[in-house]
Structure 1
Amino acid sequence: MKTHVVPVGFDYDRLIAPLVRDKVDVDRAVLLEGSRGSSDVARKLREEFASLFDAETTTVKVDDVYDYDGVFATAYGVLRDERDDGNEVRVNVSAMPRPVSFAFTNAAQHVVVEDEEARGSILAYYTAPERYLETELAEEVDELVRLMRRLKDEGLTDAAERELDERYSRANELLREFEERGTTVGAREFNGSHVIEMPITPPAELKGFERTLLRVLADTGVVDSVSELADVVAEHTGRENTDSLRSKVIYDVRSLHEKGYVEQTESGRSHETRLSHLGRLWVRAHDGSTNDEGGGTL
């Protein structure tokens, strides 16, 4: 089954036009809808996916499209579920705010890392518009202002009245398009396609014990030393705290630090260890939990 994941923004054409023009198969659509402004576009998309592709459609709500961590966790869950069902997944990241686009692209990257067979089955893509309506609206308003200045200086001649009528009609037409389509019109073609693919480049893969360390750090917060972390790991896993376990903790913490999942700061002769933002994202996406110590972006 071919699933198209569509974060719904204020644009309409870029979400449906590339699929129609490139004759893409769509069996199922997952619409990501924000809490404000996208309900009308989402309704039209549900109707179009049903009528044009005979595709089933589900909607996933997002409370805050600027909460990167929350959107990342949602994106990871959506993509992971689709892959677990054996579906091919295409994600259109054209129309929503950039945090959503980045979150879905990075979530796809993480899914591929964990499931190498998914590499050819998950694709994020972007569609460029043919026209930007806000640019045309701005130009038309500028022309109207110029015309009104001239009318104020010269009076309303027959020629000026005709030009005013033309400007009025053009402005109304642009406003109608803006209300129906959003800020852009159409989908541009590049090299025979209406989508710009964005290959998924994986970060370093996590091993089983590395995953355990991330979950332990999520529960614990900051540990004062790697030796203390070994004690906590032994307590969490029910293992004996042997020299072998301490060596493994030291080795894998170093690996996680190099991969960017943990942060370490010197504290005397020891190193304080905590999850990095990437580490907190991983835990939140996989366990639905987090141990945040401040915000920040990836």
Structure 2
Amino acid sequence: MDTSVPSVAERRVHVVPLGRERDRIVEPLRRHGADVAYLLVDAPDREGARGDVDFDAAGASDPADTRVDHDRLVEYQRDAWASVAEFAAVRPVPVALADVYDVLGVTTTVAAHHRAGEDDGDRLFGNVSTGPRIAAVGVALACMIVGARPYSVEPERHRHDLREEPLTEGVERTVDLPIYPMDAPTTDQVAVLGRLHERSEEHLATDKWNLIEWARERDLPFLREAGESRTAKYRALETHVLSPLRERSYVELEDIGRSDTVRLTETGRRVFFAFKHKIDGR
């Protein structure tokens, strides 16, 4: 999880399905200084369109004034709610946790309400471990769409030995999941990530001109229309490769002397291996 210090006006806002959990809901919020926690409370027959959020009701100080049925929660769910309320603002929202579109819509609506991802907005996180699998998919997809941070919470132990008993039994139904195009890196960007990975494995620094010369030798498309001007080549590298990679925190630049050293981040390394198939065989 991103634990960097927020700005003075920025708040840490978490979206957390209130599933059959207690510690995996409460402890990440406590440890990482959550300011606001939206607890997604299961309401299969809730009123309203999918994705709707009544923010006035969610912010009510008395649970009876919210749109969720507090009395229907089991004891450890009520305890989780009360525990989080000791250090963060709890905002319960009724959601059909078995409806991926409802979970996705509620999460993106919360993101928009808090202007998540904007310069003057709050920082949004989504817990993908505390509800049913469908809810996890909805929260994760929403985080990817709005640029928020999904996180997973591993338990210290399970209630029974998974080597002896499966986690579940039987099948009630299968559910089609939504498909959203992801903003994958281009082939040129993957190739440059690979070059940076290769150089870092050899403990070698890499500057922009090194990348340009290497790309020229391999006739990478982003340089083909740049011409012979050195300035144009730098501009093409920045526009088509480095700027998009920096925006996604896949690479970092460091000024050393008269050159910019380009470094691969750990995220960039993982992305390279995830999309390495784009350049295999080239």
Pairwise TM-score range, normalised by the shorter structure? 0.3 to 0.5
Larger Rg: 1 or 2? Answer: 1
**Higher helix proportion:** 1
How high is the TM-score relative to the length of structure 2? Answer: 0.41
